[in-house]
Every structure is written in structure tokens, then in C-alpha cells.
A = this chain, B = another copy of it.
Amino acid sequence: MARLYGRDSRKKGMMPGSVVYVGKERTEPIDITVTDYTANELRDVTVENVEDVFGFRDSDSISWINVSGIHDAVVVQKIGEHFGIHPLVLEDIVNAGHRPKFEDGTDYLFAIIKMLDFTGSDDTLTSEQVSVVWGESWVITFQELPGDVLDSVRQRLRRTIPRVRFMDSDYLAYALLDTIVDHYFMVLEQLGERIELLEDDIAERPAESSLATIREIKHQLVFMRKVIWPLREAVAGLDRTESRLLHSATRPYLRDLYEHVIQVIDTVETFRDMVGGLLDLYHTGVSNRMNEIMKVLTIFASIFIPLGFLAGVYGMNFDTGISDLNMPELTLPFGYILFWGIAIAIAGGLLWYFRRQKWL
């Protein structure tokens, strides 16, 4: 999660607007696919050379160009130049640690959003940056890795005929963003279940491992927060913008998207509250157990220390021969029985007292 902490120091000293990849080192080849469609026809194009996508800019059909892999800055720069994208925007696209944002570039609109998922065998929460740029008849998406979340949009595109709504590039862009935000709900559902399980665990018995899980969930929520808070502002900006690239028919969908983002934020905040409550619960459990331990100690010590003293008394060596006052109990025929009687009475009395104090 080191990427959380902002801009990479590798870039220091470079000019602003330098299109240099910032992020985890990767060597996979960049994969570009184009989905080109009209209301009734759709074809998938796999692209060999970056230059192959240039033609889609001015075609009549709607073209969705998906670039998987942003570590090859040259490819991004070539596409950017051809589609007239500002160098600062390109710099943002190849900076895998950028905050979600929206920008109106007059001839195109530009949004950065993060895909979230639990990956690996230990369900680490990872994020992947997706940049969406769209113009009149094209949408370009830049991902870090070839991913499958956006595939559901592709399948929907195939199934929906005629693709009337999708003939506006802004609706396609919305659909992509919406799919990613929808995926957040799945992540939240998983997280919610983990929190509820954990709460039951801790309420039953606070273990030190719960503490580690709390810490982990806390880190995940900090991570989600960093990723989703700026998104609110970004989607609000998208909703507010006056660009001719946003059709009025798409606006209700954007408001819907905005509502979903708010709902995600609300849920994250609720989770944060709940996790804070878990820590309280843990501490309460720990201090209740401390109480239990103290009670046991107190009961044992309070009963047996006085009894030990009593036994000690009758182990004293005062000379019974010299005077009748010296430990006459020792020479009573029922002395030993008496001793046990007293001992049991003391123990019983203390137990009764402790029970009345509700310690037992």
C-alpha cells in the first residue's frame, strides 16, 4: 500500500506534463482492444500497433478503445497526441497513484476512478486505476492490468440491440464508471460480513488475533476512504459540467451514479464507526477478563492467607509446659477438629461474603 502515500519520488526534477509512468514496476506487454459498434453492428478489433487506433477517432461508429497497461508511457503519449489530450492529463493517466478526478478538456472529458477488489489468497484489498477519456464518438479507457470488471459492460453492449442509448459516448462512459462503482458494493458487502463475524468473535472472546484483524480492516477502510472520497467531488463535477459532450438524457444517470457514490461513502463511514466500536468492545472484553483474573486471585488469596496464618499459629513452638496460657489449644483432645471447624467456618464466611458481592 506504499502507493497510498502520493507521488513517486522517481519523478522529482522532471517537468510537469512529463508523461512518465509512476507505479509498481511491470513488464507485461500493453494490450489494446477496440470495440467498435453502431446501433445494430458490433465488432471487436485487436490492435497490433498503436497507430491502428488512430482511425477510430473520426469514424461514425462509436469506438471504445481499451488500453490495458499504462507502464509504456510512449503508447499512452502517442494515443494522447492523436486524440488531442493535454499533456497534464496524460501525466495523470500514467501516474497510477493519482487521486480520482474529473476534468473538462473542452474537446473531451476525462475521469480517473479506482477499481477495488480483494485479491490473492489472503484477500488483500487492491486498487487499480482506470482512466476514462471520451470525445464525440469515442471512449478510451486506460487500465493498469487487463481486468474483467469492464468486461460486463462489453457483454451488455453485445446483448443490447438496438444500442440506442449506447450511441452517445457519454452513456458508454457512464456505464463504465457505474460498473466500477457497483463493484464497490460487492467489496463493501464482503467487508461488512467480515466486520459482523469479527464483532461476534470479539463479543464472545477477545483474542489478540482479533486485534490484528481490526487493524487490517481499519487499514482497508482508510484505503477505501482515500480512494472514494475524492470520487464524490469528481462525480459531482461531472454532473455539474456544462460540456456539449454530456447529453441531457444522460444526466439522470449521472445523478444516479452520484447517489451511489454517496451511498458507498456513507457505508464506509458507518463501517469506520463500527470498527471503532469493535476496538471498544475488545478493550471492554479485555478489562472484563482482567476483572475475572483479579477476582480469582482475590478469592484464593483472601481465603487461604488467613487460614495459612491460623495453621502457622498452631505450628508455633511456645512452651506449653511452662504455663497453661501457652497454647492450651494444642493439648485439647478436640483441638485439631476445632481447628478445621474454624478454618471451614472462615472459608465459608468469606465465600458467602464474596457471593453477596456477586463475585462468584
| In the complex, per-residue mask of A57-82: 1 if CB is within 8 Å of any chain B CB, else 0 | 00000000000000000000000000
- State whether the Cβ of A297 lies closer than 8 Å to any Cβ in chain B: yes
- A262 / chain B contacts, CB cutoff of 8 Å: 99
Number of copies of this kind of chain in the complex: 5
Contact B293 A295 (CB under 8 A): yes
State A144–B312 Cα separation when bound (angstroms): 75
Contact B101 A259 (CB under 8 A): yes
- State whether the Cβ of A263 lies closer than 8 Å to any Cβ in chain B: yes
Contact A279 B282 (CB under 8 A): no
Q: Given A218-B277, A222-B274, A294-B290, A302 and B300 touching (CB < 8 A)?
A: yes
A157 to chain B, nearest CB (A): 10
- A263 / chain B contacts, CB cutoff of 8 Å: 6-7, 99
Query: Residue on B with the closest CB to A270?
Result: B222
Contact B317 A325 (CB under 8 A): no
Partner of A297, one of B86, B302, B326, B329: B302
State A86–B251 Cα separation when bound (angstroms): 13
- State whether the Cβ of A40 lies closer than 8 Å to any Cβ in chain B: no
Contact A7 B318 (CB under 8 A): no
A276 to chain B, nearest CB (A): 10
Query: Residue on B with the closest CB to A290?
Result: B291
A115 to chain B, nearest CB (A): 13
Q: Given A315-B315, A330-B318, A330-B319, A300 and B306 touching (CB < 8 A)?
A: yes
**A window 249-299: CB within 8 A of B:** 252-253, 256, 259-260, 262-264, 266-267, 270, 273-274, 277, 279-284, 286-298
- Chain A: residues with CB nearer than 8 A to chain B? 2, 4-9, 11-13, 15-17, 86, 88, 99, 101, 152, 155-156, 160, 174-175, 178-179, 182-183, 185-186, 188-189, 192-193, 203, 205, 208, 211-212, 215, 218, 222, 226, 252-253, 256, 259-260, 262-264, 266-267, 270, 273-274, 277, 279-284, 286-298, 300-302, 304-309, 311-320, 322-323, 325-327, 329-337, 339, 357-359
